[in-house]
């Protein structure tokens, strides 16, 4: 072996640099650093977990010539395909249709078969990409490994064994906060879990796109209505068992526009060729830093690379068409819509059914957000009260707390109306949260009225 060479590309996984941000985070007191995981040979942090998952499958009997099947948003596929090429496996990948063409072409370049499935179906729908992957894996059994990154403990274990120790070696006691986008949880649960074991004072901050389930669940314990967004690789519409939300110290929410503008800034101002989830994670870290009130060393994981998003984030036409460029006014933001609303009505969970019925009647509304000590608990709607009274055991004097439900989506005052529209296709209503406080409620008819008024003015 030649000195300085590695025996194959898997030995070149990891050893990624940590770099200080000098421009995009200048207005915060904390120092923000980035872990350049996009410099891994397969183009993302997923190289680490893919190697661990394949080695685990080999220990369980996977033989060269066998198949690797996975439901993937692209990066896990790229890492699996790279290692499969080296070790002699065949790959079949199932992807949601929102993924960029570069990602699909990139997988096919390794010789993988790619099956594209609709995004706009429930996770348990037979057409969803998770269910399709499962079916194909069953058809190809037995010399087939279904990587199942959302439920395979070898995913977080890969980050626990590789990314976590590497960060600890590079940062040690000087690290205060580790911040990463929330997908399967491999990064936060695995690498974050390792860091916390080394130093329990290290805080873990998750970054979640608006439309995903994680944020509301962490903040209120409610499973709200997910809706679609453009940033790839982070946020979920179900709960993967590889994500341990209990480890999180904080969670920050970001929208597509801020993710993509930050992604472009990271490339143009810092030279960091990152993808959309890297922009999301940095935008989230900056928000966290602004609200933390302390000077901390924050390390942000930059998962994948710009080259996978040339036709989207780095294409001005695509950015403009989607209303992500600054000059685009679009339909406005949620703050414009709720400006005209006054006296938001809420209830507390100890309020009696009788009093809440009275509130709905006198205010002429069909549901109220339930808020305890400033924290949103959920909503109570006419139909919940009706069900309670019809059930026989329910009385007018019962508290409304147990009747609270999660049939709503949450948005922020700066959420674009176009995105609100997505949120309302599935959810009964949207609750507007500003730094965790309920500041408004939007029903479908509110949105219709707002749009109708806008088009009559235009
Ligand atoms: N960013 C990108 C681009 C990804 O593909 C993923 C994985 N889905 C993540 C971030 C999140 O990483 P993890 O699955 O380890 O939570």
Nearest protein CA to atom 3 of ligand 1, as residue? 233
91 Cα: distance to centroid of ligand 1 (angstroms):
20
275 CB within 6 A, ligand 1: yes
Query: What local confidence, expressed as pLDDT, does residue 435 receive?
Result: 85
Tell me the CA distances in angstroms from 202 to 80, 299, 323, one per residue in order.
31, 11, 37
Residues contacting 204, CB < 8 A, separation 6+: 177, 178, 179, 188, 192, 195, 196, 247, 248, 249, 250
Lookup result for tokens 């879990």: 193
Out of 39, 40, 45, 154, give the residue to mutate to test ligand 1, the one with the largest number of ligand atoms within 8 Å of its CB.
45
184 CB within 6 A, ligand 1: yes
Beta strands in 200-339 (DSSP E): 203-209, 250-254, 297-302
Classify residue 51 as exposed, middle or buried by CB count within 10 Å of its CB (0-12, 13-18, 19+).
buried
- Rounded Cα distance, 239 and 434, in Å: 25
158 Cα: distance to centroid of ligand 1 (angstroms):
13
Say if CB 303 and CB 73 are below 8 A apart.
Answer: no
Question: Which tokens in the block code for residue 320?
Answer: 């403009």
pLDDT in tens, 188-211: 999 999 999 999 999 999 999 999
Pick the atom of ligand 1 nearest to 276's CA. 3
Tell me the CA distances in angstroms from 224 to 33, 155, 212, one per residue in order.
33, 26, 9
pLDDT in tens, 54-98: 999 999 999 999 999 998 868 999 999 999 999 999 999 998 887
183 Cα: distance to centroid of ligand 1 (angstroms):
5
Pick the atom of ligand 1 nearest to 308's CA. 3
For 115-150, letters b (16+ CB in 10 Å) and e give: eebeeeeeeeeeebbbbbbbebbeebeeebbbbbbb
12 Cα: distance to centroid of ligand 1 (angstroms):
20
Domain spanning 46-146, CATH architecture? 3-Layer(aba) Sandwich (3.40)
Pick the atom of ligand 1 nearest to 190's CA. 15
234 Cα: distance to centroid of ligand 1 (angstroms):
5
Query: What local confidence, expressed as pLDDT, does residue 88 receive?
Result: 96
N-terminal to C-terminal alpha carbon distance within the chain: 72
Query: What local confidence, expressed as pLDDT, does residue 129 receive?
Result: 84
- Rounded Cα distance, 77 and 242, in Å: 17
Q: Let me know if the fold of 9-39+163-217+233-321 is the same as that of 46-146.
A: yes
What is the pTM assigned to this prediction?
A: 0.85
Domain residues of the chain, as ranges? 9-39+163-217+233-321, 46-146, 334-457
186 CB within 6 A, ligand 1: yes
Query: What local confidence, expressed as pLDDT, does residue 207 receive?
Result: 98
Query: What local confidence, expressed as pLDDT, does residue 72 receive?
Result: 82
Query: What local confidence, expressed as pLDDT, does residue 457 receive?
Result: 62
Pairing of strands 203-209, 367-372: unpaired
The residues annotated as belonging to the active site are 46
Domain spanning 9-39+163-217+233-321, CATH architecture? 3-Layer(aba) Sandwich (3.40)
5 Cα: distance to centroid of ligand 1 (angstroms):
30
303 CB within 6 A, ligand 1: yes
264 Cα: distance to centroid of ligand 1 (angstroms):
19
427 CB within 6 A, ligand 1: no
Sequence length of the chain is 458
Residues contacting 386, CB < 8 A, separation 6+: none
Say if CB 324 and CB 261 are below 8 A apart.
Answer: yes
73 CB within 6 A, ligand 1: yes
373 Cα: distance to centroid of ligand 1 (angstroms):
34
Domain spanning 334-457, CATH architecture? Roll (3.10)
Out of 37, 72, 75, 231, give the residue to mutate to test ligand 1, the one with the largest number of ligand atoms within 8 Å of its CB.
75
205 CB within 6 A, ligand 1: no
Torsion of CA 445, 450, 456, 458, to 10 degrees: -150
Pick the atom of ligand 1 nearest to 232's CA. 3
Query: What local confidence, expressed as pLDDT, does residue 331 receive?
Result: 86
- Rounded Cα distance, 280 and 215, in Å: 14
233 CB within 6 A, ligand 1: yes
Residues of the chain below pLDDT 50 = none
Out of 162, 234, 276, give the residue to mutate to test ligand 1, the one with the largest number of ligand atoms within 8 Å of its CB.
234
Longest Cα separation, the chain: 83
Pick the atom of ligand 1 nearest to 49's CA. 15
């Amino acid at each position: 072996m030649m000195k300085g060479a590695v025996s194959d590309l898997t030995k070149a996984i990891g050893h990624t640099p940590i770099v200080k941000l000098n421009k995009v985070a200048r207005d915060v007191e904390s120092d923000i650093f980035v872990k350049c995981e996009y410099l891994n040979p397969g183009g993302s942090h997923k190289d680490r977990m893919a190697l661990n998952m394949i080695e685990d499958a080999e220990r369980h009997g996977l033989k060269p010539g066998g198949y690797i099947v996975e439901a993937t948003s692209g990066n896990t596929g790229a890492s699996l395909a790279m290692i499969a090429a080296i070790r002699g496996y065949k790959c079949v990948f199932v992807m949601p249709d929102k993924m960029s063409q570069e990602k699909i072409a990139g997988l096919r370049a390794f010789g993988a078969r790619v099956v594209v499935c609709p995004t706009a179906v429930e996770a348990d729908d037979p057409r969803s990409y998770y269910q399709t992957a499962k079916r194909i894996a069953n058809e190809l059994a037995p010399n087939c490994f279904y990587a199942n990154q959302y439920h395979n403990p070898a995913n977080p274990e890969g980050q626990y064994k590789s990314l976590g120790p590497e960060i600890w070696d590079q940062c040690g006691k000087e690290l205060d906060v580790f911040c990463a986008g929330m997908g399967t949880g491999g990064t936060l649960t695995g690498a974050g879990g390792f860091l916390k074991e080394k130093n329990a004072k290290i805080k873990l901050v998750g970054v979640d796109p608006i439309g995903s389930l994680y944020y509301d669940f962490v903040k209120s314990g409610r499973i709200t209505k997910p809706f679609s967004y453009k940033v790839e690789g982070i946020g979920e519409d179900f709960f993967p068992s590889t994500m341990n939300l209990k480890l999180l110290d904080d969670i920050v929410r970001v929208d597509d526009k801020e993710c993509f503008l930050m992604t472009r800034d990271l490339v143009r101002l810092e030279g960091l060729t990152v993808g959309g989830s890297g922009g999301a994670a940095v935008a989230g870290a900056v928000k966290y830093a602004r609200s933390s009130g302390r000077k901390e060393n924050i390390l942000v994981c930059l998962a994948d690379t710009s080259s996978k998003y040339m036709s989207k984030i780095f294409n001005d036409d695509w950015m403009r068409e989607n209303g992500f460029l600054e000059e685009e006014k679009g339909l406005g933001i949620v703050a414009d819509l709720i400006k005209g609303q006054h006296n938001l009505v809420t209830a507390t969970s100890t309020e009696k059914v009788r009093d809440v019925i009275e509130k709905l009647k006198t205010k002429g509304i069909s549901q109220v957000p339930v808020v305890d000590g400033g924290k949103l608990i959920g909503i109570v709607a006419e139909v919940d009260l009706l069900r309670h009274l019809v059930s026989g055991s329910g009385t007018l004097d019962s508290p409304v707390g147990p009747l609270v439900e999660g049939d709503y989506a949450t948005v922020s005052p700066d959420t674009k109306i176009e995105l609100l529209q997505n949120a309302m296709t599935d959810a009964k209503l949207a609750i507007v949260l500003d730094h965790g406080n309920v500041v408004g409620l939007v029903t479908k008819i509110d949105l219709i009225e707002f749009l109708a008024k806008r088009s009559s003015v235009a």
